[in-house]
Amino acid sequence: MKKNILTLAVFGFFVMLAGSAFAGTKAIVYGTATSIGGASFNASKGVTIQADTSTTTYRVASKNLNGDKIYKATSVNPSVVESAGVIGTACASSDLPTL
């Protein structure tokens, strides 16, 4: 169930990024609204998202603080893949996948 929630959060983030003018690396955390392409986005409680985008590519990683998995995708490989994470740690820019 947690994987499905994180997958949906990451997928929703991709959709928002697709039409946005946002470029660069950004951390999105619960309780802090982030504006992307004119829309306000707020991560679910306990979920952190790292995104790095340009006008033509993206890479994103998402992790729940209570989980030990990091879910990742890129514009080159939009399939959601998982890697090991540490319970209690947030997703960091070093967790972003390579293009």
- Please list the pLDDT of the chain residue by residue as tens digits (99 residues): 555 555 545 555 555 555 455 577 888 888 888 776 667 777 889 999 898 888 888 898 999 999 999 999 998 987 899 999 999 999 999 999 998
Q: Does this model's pTM top 0.85?
A: no
Total domains in the chain come to 1
Which residues are paired to 24 by β-bridges?
53
Contacts 24+ apart (CB under 8 A), 60-63: 60/10, 60/13, 60/14, 60/17, 60/96, 61/91, 61/95, 61/96, 61/97, 62/6, 62/9, 62/10, 62/13, 62/91, 63/6, 63/89, 63/90, 63/91, 63/95
* Structural domain boundaries enclosing 46: 2-95
The continuous run of DSSP H or E covering 17 comes out as helix 2-18
Q: What is the reported pLDDT for 21?
A: 53
